[in-house]
Structure 1
């Protein structure tokens, strides 16, 4: 068991949005947050425009491979962030589910992927702040 929070990013192909989100979270939070990504219908490889867009910011996701979404991955995660995978993500009690509505970079050139990447970066930064901020002590009221 670990006390660090765990996040699962899910999109259909696990080749663009979820890979970029996992790359940002790994780059910005390192070992403070456990990171997973998966897809309901994984592609063969990570989107080359996503790889290039992340490389522009010094983040290398070229070694990543799309993975199939499993119930075990969902159960092992505290926060499940879906990105256009619809109802394919299993729902388990006690998990925090969020749906990030983002354009799909599939088939897009790097100029179209950059704004998607930048939106993901902002959302990941907000997620890190939320997951790593100390819980305020309860106020004693008399």
Structure 2
């Protein structure tokens, strides 16, 4: 049997967003549907990017494409929990970065769920392109 790493704590993350759960997030078993966790990851990363001046839509938008994602569940969450999504950057490469996200139920200090999104900056041709220095510096603020 593989041993699993224990859930991370709030102190292991650099930025937070509070995201309320909704009634529709629950599945037939009364806990949050698996797809909703990935939606929370995406929302937290997108909100942080927009708050930090990264344009996600329109002609000036950066093409940060998700190329890999994953999720590890530690305990159930569901409506009416208030989820606090913690963010950090676990890897910062030449044209890519790995956002790591911890979801914390209400006032809990240990993550109920942890996951990641790997994003690659692409040019108009769809090929990876180096992260500009100002963008790299911004992402560096989330590296522990």
TM over 0.5: no
Question: Shorter-chain-normalised TM-score: which range?
Answer: under 0.3
More strand by share: 2
- Normalised TM-score (structure 2): 0.25
- Normalised TM-score (structure 1): 0.26
